[in-house]
Structure 1
Amino acid sequence: MIQPSPRIALGLKENWRQFALLVVINAFVGGMVGIERTVVPLIGSEEFGIASTTLVVTFIVSFGVVKAFANLLSGQLADRWGRKRVLILGWLFGLPVPFLILWAPSWSWIIAANALLGVSQGLAWSMTVIMKVDLVGPKGRGLAVGLNEFAGYFAVGVTAFLTGYLAGQYGLRPIPIYVGVVYAVLGFALSVLLVCDTRAHVQLEMANHPKEESSLSFREVFALTTFRDRNLFAASQAGLVNNLNDGMSWGIFPLFFAANGLGVEKIGILKAVYPGVWGLCQVLTGPLSDRWGRKGLIVAGMWVQALALMMTALTRDFGWWLVASLLLGLGTAMVYPSLIAAVSDASHPSWRARSLSVYRFWRDLGYAIGALSAGLIADTFGLPWAIGSIAALTFLSGAITALVMRERLTAVADHVSANRSTG
């Protein structure tokens, strides 16, 4: 085993410069998704005249499927090549995306752009999460993940609002998509020039863990994360359903709001509030999961999401939709960092990157399942039925988590003990 350098230390305070840099980079990663939240579904329906909801959401299906498999590969690549190289590779796939959307003469170009975006997100976002968890060690995982997801999803919200405003002023293309060009160039440059790899931090953490678990194969890690470990199974199914409802909202909400008379600027506000609240609140919910535990926040968050989705389906007023968007963002903020932290808690440092990649595979496969199933339901029964059906499934997933997951108190106890020892 390679011995870690004595200068390497775990903790947010000890690694704050690299941590802050990765926060900024993940804001650019999230912003790449934000350019699509408001504008791209409307490009499909208004510029290309696509009447079928199922066909409109195919760009999310391509994104979700490709991102899921990129996630699955990312942990393996991170262990073999190093985190930084995989992060840079993710940006290389992301660089062409805004240009394809800018110049797309047909919907097939948009689908191809989102396949590349899926690879980019699967590699780049995965690395920002894994590297932050590597840096802080076991006592601050919730905080690390909360700050990472705050940066990413707050950027999604800000960009959704900005592109919606620009689209209202200048049209759906090209002006709003220029934002994505800026994000891609800056994110790639920072990753190449300033990021340092974190494998030495993993070596340091492994020194304090039993070594008998470190020889697990990828197949064994996949089975553990998918169904053999009850906590990892509970997290994987909840993550899948969480992104299933996010995929539905990405594709269906702009069409639903437009069908009920909202203009693109107001749609942009609603599409910005949800990820904006999601991003901001994770600064609180991530650390809270370190103190209170993961399970309660996950279960309650899934049920708050279900309430928000049902409220959206049953009302026809901008004010109620705004409240529902706030609740959807809050519920997702309770769930998202808690799930990643729960997976990290249940994984040995030597295979944590692979376990997180399997979890993120199932989670992001939810984008494709949610968009496709919601599109089919909407074409058959109408948009409100699609939203309501996903709300019911989200509630059920929360109930499964409540029954299956067992709270792991080790991380919480360590956090409290550390506070007492420094008090």
Structure 2
Amino acid sequence: MEIKLGLKENWKQFSLLVLVNMLVGGMVGLERTVVPLVGTEEFKIGSDIVIFSFIIAFGVVKAFTNLVSGILADKYTRKRVLILGWIIGLPVPFLLAWGPGWNWIIAANMLLGVSQGLTWSMTVNMKIDLVGPRKRGFAMGINEAAGYGAVGLTALLTGYLAAAYGLRPQPFYIGIFYTVAGLILSVLVIQDTRRHAQLESALVTATSSGEKMHRPNLLWVFKETSFRNKDLFSISQAGLINNLNDGMSWGVFPLLFITMGVGLEGVGWIKAIYPVVWGVGQIITGPLADRVGRKPLIVWGMFVQVLGHIVIGLEFFSPLTSGLVGSVFLGVGTAMVYPALLAAVSDATHPSWRASGLGVYRFWRDIGYAVGALMAGIVAHYLGLIWAVHIAGFVTFLSGMLVWIRMKETMKK
């Protein structure tokens, strides 16, 4: 069968990958509302740092898995790595539902981090492989919309299930469906896309930064993406700070709003609205990144997130309303940033090492989960939960300014 690049030419496989990434995102959504409360109410943990340890474990493991996912994809094919990710994720909902102690929850999150690092990385790489260079923003917008839309809807559903049936085990039953369905689809209907990447590699002479085709080792890619290339450095730090916000909100928001008198259903809505707006918004911002460029969306997306922190941190309205409005701003800002960052990395890396470059970027981005949770735990211990929101807003502003000053536009006109 002849290999062609483009969304129209590969729409069936693209659509199936969208469905798979909805299941991938749903696995993260399982934890957004319920797990912090399992720690405080079921296991009676009083330390914020200990409570947030499950996010730290998830973020660190996912980040390092992202780092090697590109190498694994190039060596063993995208499809095999995708299947492996689902197999590793199979025990997660069972551990979350019936784990007898907090260490079991942390173990579940370590497995979830590996699973997410493999499955989500592959859906990103495979969609980029299929569509080619002209529709990268659109492809990433659809991919992340599917994933984070499922995160939000699952967070909302688990909030209602927890309010109706208790914190465990019922809210985690849907995770069993997600893992089984994701594995079946990945084995039976998803096709590998490495030949599409090889076709594009043969057609590309140089990237937006002038980089020509070669096959560098991971150390070279890590240095180039992390600090040697100023555009990739700007992108990587923005990704880290963006997920710092998510890691902070993941742990802080359920505890903060419960102490403010918001019920489980209300917390579920607050935790759902952020990733739902984030996800659905990328249907618009992904294609927009292909029209106006990457940099404007990254810079102004960071500043819109700052507005979300201000609304929540200064409590302009009632606790529930502040949480909802602030989460909308956080979601809109993240929707602007997310597909633009992924598309910008793809612009600045040659197809011959793009999977590894995306892996390094996603390493820094997802380390943000751990950094955000650790920062929130320390700050909450000494200053209170609300100060974690203030500090996250301040560093987000600094990150947006750095992109504004240092990064040049990566999209080819």
TM-score with structure 2 length normalisation? 0.97
What is the CA distance between 1:317 and its match in structure 2? 2.5
Q: Which letter maps to 1:288?
A: L
Q: What is the rounded CA distance, in whole Å, between the counterparts of 1:100 and 1:317 in structure 2?
A: 33
Quick check: 2:97–2:172 contact (8 Å CA) kept in 1?
Answer: yes
Which deviates further from its counterpart, 282-291 or 210-219? 210-219
Quick check: 2:297–2:340 contact (8 Å CA) kept in 1?
Answer: yes
In the other structure, the counterpart of 2:195 is: 200
Does residue 187 of the first structure (1) align with residue 182 of the second (2)?
A: yes
What is the CA distance between 1:313 and its match in structure 2? 1.4
What is the CA distance between 1:217 and its match in structure 2? 1.9
Identical-residue share of aligned pairs (%) = 61
Q: What is the rounded CA distance, in whole Å, between the counterparts of 2:406 and 2:181 in structure 1?
A: 43
What is the CA distance between 1:318 and its match in structure 2? 1.4
User: Which of 389, 392, 396 is the equivalent residue of 1:390?
Assistant: 392
Q: Which letter maps to 1:382?
A: G
In the other structure, the counterpart of 1:292 is: 292
Q: What is the rounded CA distance, in whole Å, between the counterparts of 1:321 and 1:218 in structure 2?
A: 41
Q: How many residues align?
A: 406
1:83-98 correspondence to structure 2 within 5 Å: 83-98=78-93
User: Which of 126, 130, 133 is the equivalent residue of 2:125?
Assistant: 130
Q: What is the rounded CA distance, in whole Å, between the counterparts of 2:226 and 2:235 in structure 1?
A: 9
Does residue 44 of the first structure (1) align with residue 27 of the second (2)?
A: no
What is the CA distance between 1:215 and its match in structure 2? 2.5
Q: Which letter maps to 2:346?
A: S
In the other structure, the counterpart of 2:274 is: 274
Q: For 2:214, what is the secondary structure of its paired residue? A: helix
What is the CA distance between 1:392 and its match in structure 2? 0.3
What is the CA distance between 1:320 and its match in structure 2? 2.2
Q: Which letter maps to 2:58?
A: F
In the other structure, the counterpart of 1:34 is: 29
In the other structure, the counterpart of 1:416 is: none
User: Which of 65, 68, 75 is the equivalent residue of 2:60?
Assistant: 65
TM-score with structure 1 length normalisation? 0.95
What is the CA distance between 1:210 and its match in structure 2? 2.7
Quick check: 2:294–2:411 contact (8 Å CA) kept in 1?
Answer: no
Does residue 379 of the first structure (1) align with residue 381 of the second (2)?
A: yes
Q: What is the rounded CA distance, in whole Å, between the counterparts of 1:321 and 1:374 in structure 2?
A: 17
Cα offsets for 1:360-399 (capped at 9, x unmatched): 0000001001101111100100011111001100110000
User: Which of 55, 67, 72 is the equivalent residue of 1:77?
Assistant: 72
RMSD: 0.9
What is the CA distance between 1:209 and its match in structure 2? 1.8
User: Which of 54, 61, 66 is the equivalent residue of 2:49?
Assistant: 54
Which deviates further from its counterpart, 209-218 or 220-229? 209-218
What is the CA distance between 1:208 and its match in structure 2? 1.2
In the other structure, the counterpart of 1:330 is: 332
In the other structure, the counterpart of 1:231 is: 231
Q: Which runs of 5+ in 2 are unaligned?
A: 207-211
Quick check: 2:142–2:286 contact (8 Å CA) kept in 1?
Answer: yes
User: Which of 4, 16, 19 is the equivalent residue of 1:21?
Assistant: 16
Q: Which runs of 5+ in 1 are unaligned?
A: 414-423
Q: For 1:207, what is the secondary structure of its paired residue? A: helix
Q: Which runs of 4+ in 1 moved over 2 A?
A: 210-213
Does residue 359 of the first structure (1) align with residue 354 of the second (2)?
A: no
Q: Which letter maps to 2:349?
A: S
